[in-house]
Amino acid sequence: MNDIRFTIDGKECLGKPGQTIVEAAKANGVYIPVLCHFEGLKPVGSCRICTVRVGGRFMAACTQPLIEGMAVENTAPDLEDMRKSLIEMLFVEGNHLCPSCEKSGNCELQALAYRYQLMAPRFPYLWPRRDIDASAPLLMLDGNRCIQCLRCVRACRAKDGRKVFAAVDRSHRVKIEVDKKLAAHLSEDQARRAMDICPVGAILRKETGFAVPIGRRKFDRAPIGSDVEKGTGR
């Protein structure tokens, strides 16, 4: 099948049929910020940080398939401010205490905040009471830090296909729960994958915190997305 021609902020790009805007943008060296998205998992459009504008309409770039001739707006100031707002919302709706978090420096939410120069949120802190579930032998689930990205729900399954993590309740009370019976039998690899797939410090492999010194962590030196943009002169 033929390539799809489209533009991002006026830049001519080529994409493949079946690609989403996020995927095609990345292949063209353009970074569209994402948080719930994870390569290889079905996109679910939950965080909305990848919101772009096409023909005056807003859409999540992680779930929207490419269409011939699309003119995607990615860095318009009002769009960037919307994204910053969404990042701020995630900070105030949970309890994100970066100084004491094992994931600090490797956290994608924090990294986005750095990229967007989040100094203080425009929203008031909500301070919800959230649980920590440390009952699984290898894993710890800290609801304070969870951002409902659903990566773990999508990625982590037991051998027979059952979901290890699931969303329970709804509205602002929605939370991710780990299935106690399945979690009791997770292998080292499964536990490690669960931690690695979590963009924040909500899922942790026990006994492994603070392994990388400050200065050498993933986002200490270069902003999130700079790998995508390398050589594009942003």
What residue type is 126 in one-letter code? L
CB 15, min distance to another protein, A: 16
Nearer to another protein, 11 or 54 (CB): 54
CB 177, min distance to another protein, A: 5
Nearer to another protein, 10 or 124 (CB): 124
Nearer to another protein, 3 or 81 (CB): 81
CB 166, min distance to another protein, A: 4
CB 17, min distance to another protein, A: 13
Q: Which string of b and e fits 153-183 if b means at least 16 CB within 10 Å?
A: bbbbeeeeeebbbeeeeeeeeebbbbeeebb
Neighbours of 80 (CB within 10 A): 13
Nearer to another protein, 11 or 65 (CB): 65
Q: Taking CA 32 as the corner, what is the angle to CA 30 and CA 33, rounded to the nearest 5 degrees?
A: 140
